[in-house]
Amino acid sequence: MRLPLINNSRSLTGTYKVPVLIGGVYGVGSVQAAKSSTSNSTQKQVIGIEMAEQKALAVAKGQVESIELKKKNTQVYYEVEIDQGQKDVDVLIEAYTGESLGVRNDNDDAPS
């Protein structure tokens, strides 16, 4: 079963949100950076959602709740939200190399 990207624009100027089915199987094709009209060189490709999930789970154990492809300035990365029972963490994975950029506590669900 293939799940569509909510924002399927080929440009990486915004955020891509991809639903993750808990306990299910999903597949989404890899996302590519927009083609440069002035260059015929080989295009860089992101590592893909499945690889980003594997890399994030190697850094922080738990259940993946969501994966978003984000761009901040010139950096493109996956933000992988992981439920660890009593807390949630966000693992940031560089979209082209798969390198972990860090882990931060996710306080989005904290009571106000």
- Which residue, chain included where needed, has tokens 């709740």? 65
- Full-model pTM: 0.61
pLDDT tens for 44-99 read 899 999 999 999 999 999 999 999 999 999 999 999 999 999 899 999 999 999 99
- Chain segment 6-22, per-residue pLDDT in tens: 333 334 444 455 555 44
Q: Which residue has the tokens 């979209």?
A: 95
Closest residue by Cα to residue 28 from 5, 51, 47: 5
